Amino acid sequence: MNGRFVRRPQVEPLSPSPFMRLINLFRVQSDNPALVRAQFEAFTKQAPILYFILTTNALTVSYTYYGEAPIWLAVYIPVTFGILCAVRLRVWWQRRHAQYDDAQILKQLRLTHKLAVGLAIGFTAWSLALYPYGDPYAQGLIAFFMALTVIGCIFCLMHVRSAALLVTLIVNTPFIIFFMFEGHAALRAVAVNLALVSIAMIFILMVYYRDFANLVQSRKDLTVKQEETERLSDDNFRIANLDSLTDLPNRRRFFAALNLTFEICHKSGDRFAIGIVDLDGFKPVNDTYGHATGDRVLIEAGRRLQSLCGSNIILSRLGGDEFGLVVTGNPSDSDLMALGQKLGEIVRLPYDIGASHAQISACIGFATFPDSANTPDGLFERADYALYYAKRHLRGQTVLFSQAHEKLIHEHSVVEQALQVADLDCELSVVYQPIVDARTGRIAAFEALARWQSPFLGAIGPDRFIPIAERAGLIRPMTKVLIQKALKAAASWPDHVRISINLSAQDISVAEGVVQIIACVNQSGVDPKRIDFEITETSITSDFAQARRAIDALKALGCGISLDDFGTGYSSLSHVHRLPLDKIKVDKSFISDIDINPASFKIVRSLIVLCQDMGLTCVMEGVETEAQYEILSELGGDYIQGWYFSKPMSGDLVLRYMEQDQPARRQKA
C-alpha cells in the first residue's frame, strides 16, 4: 500500500436476524446481569411451588393407574419423579437466603433450564405411555393432568421465559398431535382447544415477561438515578462544607461544629476551646509571587496544621489566610498554649516556592468555654479579639482570652459607643509635629496627628480610638474631618512647608474613600504638591491592587506618598519596588537605641543607603536625644522627626514655632 495506512470504514453492528431472535427466546439471557438476577430472585420464590405441583399431580396419576398399568410404569417412574422433585424442592428451600454473584446466578438458571426441559420430556413420555392402559375416565385424567401441569409450570416459570416456552412446546405439542390422530372427534376438539390455549398462554407469557423486563430496567434506571442523586448530594455536601482549595472543613462547617460542640459541652459541663489562626506575612507572599504560589502556601500551611491536630481537634479554613480550631477533651490553658506554640513553630518553617523560599508566621487567638463566653457567637468573638490582640501586640504568638481582655473589650465598647454619637467636627482636633531637614536644621514639614476630646470620656489617645474606629467602620468620616482641619491650618503656612497626613487602610481600600480624599484636597485651596499622605504596610497588604490604584490617583493629583513605619512589615522591599513612593519613614523602633545597639545602627545605615540608591527621601522618626540626632546627621538621612525638636503642638502654636525656626536650634524644645 506504498507505506500508507488505509483507514477502514467503521461497520455498524448488525442487528440479530429473525431466526436468531427466535432462537434467543429459548436461551437464558446473559447480557443483562440485572435482569438475570431479578429472574433468579423471582424463581427462587416460585420453585418450591413448581416442584410441589409436579409431585402432587404425578402421585395422583400414579394412584389412578395403580393396578391398571405395569408396576414400573404406574409406581416406580412417578416415585422417581417425586423423589427428584422433592430433592430439588429441598435444595431451593435451603438456598432461599443464600447470596450469589452474577456468574453463580447465571449458572443456576442454566441448570434450571436444563432440568425443566428434562422433566418436561420425562413427564410427557410417561403420560403418553400410561394413556393406553386407562379407561376413558383415566385417559381424561391424563389430559387434565398434562393441561393442569403445563399451566402451573408456565405460571411458576413466567420469570424464566425460555424455560416456560420450552416446557409449553415440549409438553403440549406431542399431546396435540397425539389427540389429533386418535380418531375421536372429542379428542380432536381437545387438541384444537389445547393448541389455542397454548397460544394464548404463550402470548400472556411474552407480554408478562416484557413488562417484567421493563420493570427490572426501570428499577435499574431508578437505582442509577438514585446513585447519581446521592453522588450529587455528596458533591453538594462537599461543596457546602469543605474548602475547595485545602479540602479542609470550611467556615460553614466550622460554625456547625462549634454549635454542636457547644450544645454537648453545655449539657455535660466539659470544657472546650476555639482558636483562630491568622497567617502573618501571607498577603505579601501572595502579592509578590502570585495567587498560584499563594494557593500552594495555603495548602501546605493547612496540611501542616492538620498534621498537629489529633482526634479532639477540628481544623477548618475560615477564609483567606485564617483557619479555625475547635478543641475538645477538656483542654487546660497550658494545653492550649502548648498547642499554639507547636502550630506557630510548624507554620514558621520555610515554604518552597520554586527557586526560593517564603517564610511566614502565625498569630493565634484562643477562647474557652465556659470561661470566656456562654454562647457560640460570644466565644468566636472573644477568640477573634484574642487574635486581634496578638496581631497588634504579640506578633507571631498565641494569646488566650482572659478577664483582662474582657475589660479591654468593655472599654473599647464604651469608646466605640462614644464615637458613634460623637460630634466629630467639634470633638476632633489636630496637633502638629515638625519634620526637620537633617542638613540645614530648618523645618520642612509638619505631620498632622489626631486628637479626640470626648465630652463623656475626656481625652482619648489616638492609639486607642483610631484602632477602635477602624474596627467599627467609623474611620472614613473621621479621616475626612481630620484632613479638612489639617489642610485649613496648612493653608496659612509658608508655601515651602509641607503637611503630612496619615491614612487608614479603609481610606484607600475602596474607591469612595479615595474620592473623598481628593475632594478634601481640591476644596482646601492648598497646593497638592505640598501634601504628603502617609500609608502603612498593613493598609497596602489588605488589598494591594486597590491600594496601588489609590496611590496612583493621589500621585496624579500631585500629592506625595510616604511609606510609614518602614521596616516593621513583612515585605517592605517588595512594596518599595512596586509602588510609586516618594518618602520612606524609618520606624522609631530602630532609632530608639541606635546609639547603643550596633544592629540598629547597621539597619538604619542600610535603609538610608537604600533610599539614596532608589531616589527616595528618607525620614527618620522618633528622635529624642542629641546622640541620636548626631548619628543620623552623620549617616546622611534627609529628614528627622521627634521630640528632640518638639512635642506635637496645637495649630495656633505652629506659626509661632516657625517664626523661631533657626538652624542653630538643636536642643529639645
Residue 651 CB-half CA count within 13 A: 17
Helix (H) or strand (E) holding 565: strand 560-566
Q: Cα 541 to the chain's mean position, in Å?
A: 25
DSSP class of residue 131 equals: G
pTM assigned to the model: 0.58
**Which pLDDT belongs to residue 567?**
65
Name, in order, each residue with C-beta under 8 angstroms of 564's C-beta and a sequence gap of 6 or more.
502, 534, 535, 536, 585
Enumerate the CATH 3.30.70.270 domain ranges in the chain, comma separated.
251-401
Helix (H, G, I), strand (E, B) or coil at 392: helix
Single-letter amino acid code for the residue at 148: L
- E strands, 425-513, are 428-437, 443-454, 458-460, 498-502
**What are the distances in angstroms from CA 383 to CA 371, 375, 530?**
12, 12, 44
Distance (Å, whole) CA 494 – CA 650: 17
User: Residue 277 pairs with which residues in a beta bridge?
Assistant: 323, 364
Q: Given this model, what pLDDT does residue 558 score?
A: 92
Measured distance CA(279)–CA(152) in Å, rounded = 78
- Identify the CATH number of the domain defined by range 428-655: 3.20.20.450
Q: Which three cell numbers stand for residue 669?
A: 524644645
Residue 312 DSSP symbol: T
Strands (E) in 382-479, as ranges, are 398-400, 428-437, 443-454, 458-460
Nearest by Cα to 423 from 475, 466, 478? 478
The predicted structure's pLDDT at residue 7: 46
Output the pLDDT for position 666. Answer: 45
> Which element (helix H / strand E) includes 633?
helix 626-635
Distance in angstroms (rounded) separating the CA atoms of residues 444 and 603: 25
* 421 class by beta-carbon count within 10 Å (0-12 exposed, 13-18 middle, 19+ buried): exposed
Domain with CATH 3.20.20.450 in the chain: 428-655
Nearest-10 crossing angle of helices 291-307, 282-289: 140
> Rounded to an integer, what distance in angstroms lies between the CA atom of residue 395 and that of residue 321?
15
Q: What is the 3-state secondary structure (H, E, C) of 169-195?
A: HHHHHHHHHHHHCCCCHHHHHHHHHHH
Q: Which residues of the chain have pLDDT under 50?
A: 1-12, 571, 664-669
Angle between helix 376-393 and helix 251-268 axes, rounded to 10 deg: 120
C-alpha cell at 432: 502638629
CATH class given for the domain over 251-401: alpha beta
Contact 545, 494 (CB under 8 A): no
Q: Is 397:389 a contact under the CB 8 Å cutoff?
A: no
Span 542-585, pLDDT tens digits: 677 788 889 999 999 999 999 887 766 554 566 667 788 888 88
